[in-house]
Structure 1
Amino acid sequence: MRTQAIRHRHIQLEGHDLFLREAGPPGAPVLLLPHGYPCSSFQFRRLMPALADRWRTVAFDWPGFGYSDTPDPGEFGYDFDAYESVLTAVADHLGLQRYALWLHDYGSQIGLRHAIAHPDRIAALIIQNGDIYEDVLGPKYETIQAYWRNKTTEAHRPLEEAVSEEGFRHEFVGEVNGTVAQRVPPDLWKLHWPLMDTPVRRQVAVGLMEKLEVNLAWFPRYQAYLREQQPPALIVWGPEDGYMPAESARAYLRDLPRAELHLIEDAGHWLLETHFDEALPLVRDFLTRCHA
Structure 2
Amino acid sequence: MLTITSTINRTVRYKTVNIEGVKIFYREAGNPDAPTILLLHGFPSSSHMYRDLINDLSDEFHLIAPDYPGFGNSDMPSRSEYSYTFDNLSVTIEKFIDALQLQRFALFMQDFGAPVGYRIALRRPELIEALLIQNANAYEEGLGPATEDGQRLWANRNETTEAPMRQMMSLEGTMMQYLDGAEDPSRISPDAYHYDQYFLEREGNKDIQVDLLYDYRNNITQYPQWQEYLKTNQPPALITWGKNDALFTAAGAIAYKKDLPDAELHLLNTGHFALEEFHFEIAKLIKSFLNNLNLFR
Residue 208 of structure 2: aligned partner: 204
Q: Which residue of 2 aligns with 1:161?
A: 167
- Deviation larger for 233-242 or 201-210: 201-210
Structure 1: runs of 5+ lacking an equivalent: none
- Identify the range of structure 1 (5-14 vs 216-225) with the bigger mean alpha-carbon deviation: 5-14
**SS in structure 2 opposite 1:187?**
helix
* Alignment pair present for 1:191 and 2:195: yes
Match of 2:284 among 275, 281, 284: 281
Report the Cα offset of residue 155 of structure 1: 2.4
Distance between the aligned counterparts of 2:22 and 2:153, measured in 1? 32
Distance 2:180 2:250 in 1: 17
Separation (CA, whole Å) in 2 of partners of 1:121 and 1:142: 34
Q: In the TM superposition, what are the counterparts of 1:91-170 in structure 2 within 5 Å?
A: 91-170=97-176
Output the TM-score relative to the length of structure 1: 0.95
- The residue that corresponds to 2:252 in the other structure is 248
Q: Aligned residue for 1:220? A: 224
CA RMSD between the two structures: 1.4
Note if contact 2:69-2:75 (Cα within 8 Å) is conserved in structure 1: yes
Candidates 22, 35, 40, aligned match of 1:16? 22
Report the more deviating stretch, 211-220 or 116-125.
Answer: 211-220
Partner of 1:54: 60
Per-residue deviation, 1:49:
2.1
Which deviates more, 278-287 or 96-105? 278-287
Q: Distance in 2 between matches of 1:246 and 1:218?
A: 20
User: Secondary structure, in 3 states, of the residue corresponding to 1:176?
Assistant: coil
What is the identity, as a one-letter code, of the residue corresponding to 2:185? Answer: A
Taking structure 2 as the reference length, the TM-score comes to 0.93
Q: 1:232 aligns with which of 232, 236, 243?
A: 236
Q: Kindly report structure 1 stretches of 4+ aligned residues shifted beyond 6 Å.
A: none
- Does the 8 Å contact 1:97/1:121 carry over to 2? yes
* Contact 1:128/1:235 (<8 A) preserved: yes
Task: Describe how 1:3-42 pairs up with structure 2 within 5 A.
Answer: 3-42=9-48
Task: Provide the C-alpha distance between the structure 1 equivalents of 2:158 and 2:17, rounded to a whole number of angstroms.
Answer: 40
Aligned 8 A contact 1:238 1:271 in 2: yes
CA shift in 2, pair 1:158/1:234, >3 Å: same
Q: How many angstroms apart in 1 are the aligned matches of 2:260 and 2:160?
A: 40
Q: Quote the sequence identity (%).
A: 37
Deviations 1:229-280 (A, max 9, x none): 000000111101001111110000000011011111x211111111223222
Q: 1:82 to 1:166 in 2, by over 3 A?
A: same
Report the CA distance between 1:152 and its aligned residue.
3.9
2: CA distance, partners of 1:92 / 1:147: 35
- Alpha-carbon offset, residue 74 of structure 1: 2.1
List runs of 5+ in structure 2 lacking aligned partners: 1-6
User: Do 1:30 and 1:98's aligned partners in 2 also have CA atoms closer than 8 Å?
Assistant: yes
Tell me what 2:293 maps to: 290
Number of residue pairs matched by the alignment: 289
Q: Give 1:48 shift.
A: 1.1
Partners of 2:107 and 2:26 in 1: CA distance: 16
SS at match of 1:190: helix
Residue in 1 that maps onto 2:71: 65
Give per-residue Cα distances to partners, 1:27-66, cap 9 Å, x unaligned.
1111000111111100111111221122100001111011
Structure 1 distance, partners of 2:157, 2:208, is 18
> Retained in 2: the 8 A contact 1:4–1:50?
no
SS at match of 1:46: helix
